[in-house]
Amino acid sequence: MRQIINIVKIGGNVIDFPDKLTNFLNDFASITGPKILVHGGGKTATTIADKLGIESKFIEGRRVTSKKMIKITLMVYAGLINKEIVATLCAKSCPAIGLTGADASVIMARKRSPEPVDYGEVGDIDYIDTDFITKLIDSDITPVFCSITSDNDGHLLNTNADTVAVELAIALASVYDVRLIYCFEKDGVMSDGTVIPQINSEMFEELKNNGTINSGMIPKITNALRAAKTPGVLDVNIRNAEHLLYGSGTYITD
């Protein structure tokens, strides 16, 4: 029988508040069975870049990663945030290991074409080494991924954390029954102040057209739908980070 794995993505805005992050990690540590945590970077990367005189540039809400900015993301995502999360989880009896895609070449990517939009040092995922991840999990070690990948030539690349979570879900669905949970600061996908309990492809088109779903939520749900369509993915859910263990949030279904 296949085991269930929980793949949890924690949004940047929770990472910006140490108390919220600690509460979330308490909950995450208490999940039994195989699990993976994927985290974004929060506002710290922008703050540090500002202080170092490196301009943060965004196109339609997506970061443009210059050669200087990839160094900042390495420092903040792979260094500061990742290792603080790992040390905290280990202290909560949840042995964890911090990983970028470069480590053991576990997530290999290819630099995105500069056409039509040049996002700089940004990678699209080509390959995930599910064997390596499974071995860690079989040794009771929880992988904690930040949103950095690498290409075959050793160039480090920035990859959206939502995308890392989805690609892990799709790849690991060949080995486990996957629950993919996106945690952020809201209770789910909202419409007029209430949570939409379920969204499928058709509803998504409608909700985009009437403007209920817009900006950053569009790529998030597009990604989530891709996972939901994958055999072996049991469910895909978007919920409040404060309700990791007992939330219902919004289910994204095929």
Write out the residues near a copy of itself by the rule CB under 8 A: 48, 51-53, 71, 74-80, 82-84, 86-92, 95-100, 102-105, 132, 135, 139, 141, 148, 150, 152-156
Q: What distance in Å separates the CA atoms of residue 232 and residue 237, rounded to the nearest whole number?
A: 15
Q: What distance in Å separates the CA atoms of residue 13 and residue 134, rounded to the nearest whole number?
A: 29
| 148-150 vs 156-158, strand pairing mode | antiparallel
Query: What are 126-132's contacts with CB under 8 Å, separation 24+?
Result: 128/167, 128/168, 128/171, 128/172, 129/104, 129/105, 130/171, 130/172, 130/174, 130/175, 132/104, 132/106
CA count, 13 A, side-chain hemisphere, 27: 18
CB 102 to a copy of itself: min, Å: 4
Q: What distance in Å separates the CA atoms of residue 19 and residue 3, rounded to the nearest whole number?
A: 32
Q: Which is nearer to a copy of itself, 110 or 208 (CB)?
A: 110
CB 141 to a copy of itself: min, Å: 5
Q: Which is nearer to a copy of itself, 64 or 80 (CB)?
A: 80
CB 21 to a copy of itself: min, Å: 12
CB 98 to a copy of itself: min, Å: 5
Q: Which is nearer to a copy of itself, 78 or 221 (CB)?
A: 78
CB 250 to a copy of itself: min, Å: 32
Write the DSSP symbol of residue 120: B
CB 72 to a copy of itself: min, Å: 9
Q: Which is nearer to a copy of itself, 139 or 215 (CB)?
A: 139
Place of tokens 């909950």: 27
Q: Which is nearer to a copy of itself, 56 or 191 (CB)?
A: 56
Q: What distance in Å separates the CA atoms of residue 38 and residue 55, rounded to the nearest whole number?
A: 26
The token pair that represents 153 in the structure block: 């030539």
Q: Which is nearer to a copy of itself, 56 or 201 (CB)?
A: 56
Q: What distance in Å separates the CA atoms of residue 59 and residue 50, rounded to the nearest whole number?
A: 18
